[in-house]
Structure 1
């Protein structure tokens, strides 16, 4: 039985994701699929618009067999560590034969050549990277330009495209893990990763769909662009006040953290780099907390943003402050160890058989139910439990169940008929 792996956020799951899923099964020849999915907070430093169990259900309704959670220690990291954490999870299952990722180029050969050259980050590249950073460029742009300097013939504009960047880091992670997983790629169709405008009748980016939802507040406009299973889940979660969620829902708890922490304490938190703790304290008095301006988090990001610091970098930093996650907890030495367990969010009847196979060959423990003892045993899992509690603060009326849902909620299971 062949099994292919997917690395996803599904925020929300849309028709483009369904195309990728079906193509992944076709090009890999796989019978089974395992998706490693981000939890309550995502790679760009944002809260998921709908929670992890709901998005796992969307995936299962589409046809994914098994959904594993990517710990927040990795899910809100820059491309290198996001990719490494996700690939370490697929590798740890012991049963994944291939990885199928979307890319703007749709070509694996040139990405593989770059990955081969960059796996050990040669000194010449590191010098080029430092030179580019000194010009004031944000890290992603400096990284792409440094590679182009080190490897003549590589187009930095192609390398800088979001899915190509992630694809490169998936390939590098496979090498660093010495994994036998075979990489495959599929061209992203009809809508770019960050495209905010809708230019097709059935496929739109998740960014564009979220924009519709937050600006116009209507689910009905999403109907042509999402599978029926996604719409069913979104309607239910919206009806009970658990969606749609955005950064502004966390403005008050974030302000509490920013005001409570000293500059020294802020500097200890992950992603607070290059003196940003002082910049934060400098701009806080400029926030308008009442009147027509509103949107406190948007104001804060606008005040902090410079050529050097992208919105994504700042969102990741603010998220680590919100969750009080330190540099020591998320150091390279810690992250390099890979995922220490596999947390199951949901499975189909076919996924149950995959789990049975994994129990014999998995390189790390498999967790289907979380309790106080298991969260104490794994610091990454404890971070996920805490992240769920904070995420619930964004609901219309959070209950005890919402705050500690990791302890109460079993994996999502769909029957054959669903």
Structure 2
């Protein structure tokens, strides 16, 4: 059974994702699909609008056969580590033949040539990157500039233009290819062009396709405190019926939709109670950012209706992008230390393959994975032999539940009692 792997967030799953899913199966000539999906917190340092189990159900109802959780250690990282963790999981299954990702250009060759060049870098590229960062550029801009300097042309060849390195999908695609090469994975890379809406396009310009960013903007257009039935109805033209049904159910149960503002209480509790020296030990708190955070707390407006947004506005500079700051605040919220997420720890990769859900065909894939997988395949959290990475996910799940409308102690341990979702 030929199987394609995809790497997703589904925040929420929309019609563009369905297009990518179907195009991936077609491009790979695959009968089955394994999806690696971020859990409760996402790559840009944001909470998911609904929890990982709801989004797993969306993926399975779309047609995915196995959904695997990307640990929070990797899910909330810059492109390099996000891609590395996800690709390592797909490679570890032993059943995935191809990886298909969306890109702005829909062309693999220029990215693959650039990945081949960067894969062999011996420290010279890192030096160029540090030079660009020292000039005050944000990390994404510094990375793109360093790649152009290192490659001489940005990866273009035979008269082709270089890949658009400022585009999020292009950078992610480049890092997927780098991870495949560094892991010496037999998985074949494929790419399909994104349809209609750009990756973070906030405006809707097509009748049935909108980015997840635009949909979240619709959900919270009347304020974050109580997005209700009208807001959910507004996204209906852009999502499959099952996405809307699941979102409505989660809303009715008080479990979403969520945004950063729902975590203002726990976040500010951490920021106010930890002294600078403790903040300095946390991942993403770099270059004296702990001092900037403490100073910003003293300048917070008294009447801020969206306190997290107000804090981000006070912290943002040309150097510190919103995404960087959101990741910083998230690591503070979750208590992730520099030591626990150091380079050596991340290079080791995820410790297990955590299955969130599967279809009938996915059950067959899981049986194969039991024989082929390079890592333990976990369907019960309590069965994990090395709970380090998994423990971070369980704690992240407990913190995520603090954003719900009702405090429910049962949600704090949901990872222990929730079996994989089985779609019959």
The answer to whether the superposition gives a TM-score over 0.5 is yes
Q: Deviations over 1:124-144 (max 9, x none)?
A: 323322221121000111010
Secondary structure, aligned partner of 1:336: helix
Q: Deviations over 1:174-221 (max 9, x none)?
A: 011110000000001100011011000010000000000011431111
Secondary structure, aligned partner of 2:348: coil
1:383 aligns with 2:396: no
Counterpart of 1:211?
A: 217
In structure 1, distance between residues paired with 2:234 and 2:175:
35
In structure 2, distance between residues paired with 1:240 and 1:130:
48
Alignment counterpart, residue 310 of structure 1, candidates 321, 327, 334: 321
Secondary structure, aligned partner of 2:407: coil
Counterpart of 2:69?
A: 69
1:294 aligns with 2:300: no
Q: Indicate how the Cα distance of structure 1 residues 61 and 302 shifts in structure 2: closer, same or farther if over 3 A, else same.
A: same
Query: Within 5 A, what are the aligned runs for 1:13-412?
Result: 13-154=13-154, 158-216=164-222, 217=227, 218-289=231-302, 291=303, 293-371=304-382, 374=384, 377-412=386-421
In structure 2, distance between residues paired with 1:46 and 1:129:
26
Are the aligned partners of 2:69 and 2:354 in contact in 1 as well (CA < 8 Å)? yes
Are the aligned partners of 1:288 and 1:294 in contact in 2 as well (CA < 8 Å)? no
Secondary structure, aligned partner of 2:221: helix
Shift of 1:123: 3.7
In structure 1, distance between residues paired with 2:123 and 2:63:
45
Shift of 1:228: 1.0
Q: Deviations over 1:297-329 (max 9, x none)?
A: 111111111000000000000000000000110
Tell me the TM-score normalized by structure 2: 0.95
In structure 2, distance between residues paired with 1:70 and 1:127:
30
Are the aligned partners of 2:49 and 2:258 in contact in 1 as well (CA < 8 Å)? yes
Q: Deviations over 1:40-70 (max 9, x none)?
A: 0000000000000000000000000000000
In structure 2, distance between residues paired with 1:17 and 1:348:
18
In structure 1, distance between residues paired with 2:137 and 2:182:
27
Tell me the TM-score normalized by structure 1: 0.96
In structure 1, distance between residues paired with 2:27 and 2:379:
30
Shift of 1:156: 7.0
Are the aligned partners of 1:61 and 1:229 in contact in 2 as well (CA < 8 Å)? yes
In structure 2, distance between residues paired with 1:82 and 1:263:
28
Of 181-190 and 399-408, deviating more is 399-408
In structure 2, distance between residues paired with 1:85 and 1:130:
23
Shift of 1:122: 3.7
Shift of 1:10: 0.2
Shift of 1:409: 0.8
In structure 1, distance between residues paired with 2:163 and 2:84:
23
Shift of 1:34: 0.2
Are the aligned partners of 2:197 and 2:209 in contact in 1 as well (CA < 8 Å)? yes
Structure 1 unaligned spans of 5+: none
Are the aligned partners of 1:53 and 1:345 in contact in 2 as well (CA < 8 Å)? yes
Q: Indicate how the Cα distance of structure 1 residues 388 and 123 shifts in structure 2: closer, same or farther if over 3 A, else same.
A: closer
Q: What is the Cα-based RMSD across aligned positions, in Å?
A: 1.2
Are the aligned partners of 2:110 and 2:163 in contact in 1 as well (CA < 8 Å)? no
Shift of 1:281: 1.1
Are the aligned partners of 2:351 and 2:386 in contact in 1 as well (CA < 8 Å)? no
Q: Deviations over 1:13-35 (max 9, x none)?
A: 00000000000000100111000
In structure 1, distance between residues paired with 2:242 and 2:123:
49
Structure 2 unaligned spans of 5+: 155-160
Shift of 1:340: 1.0
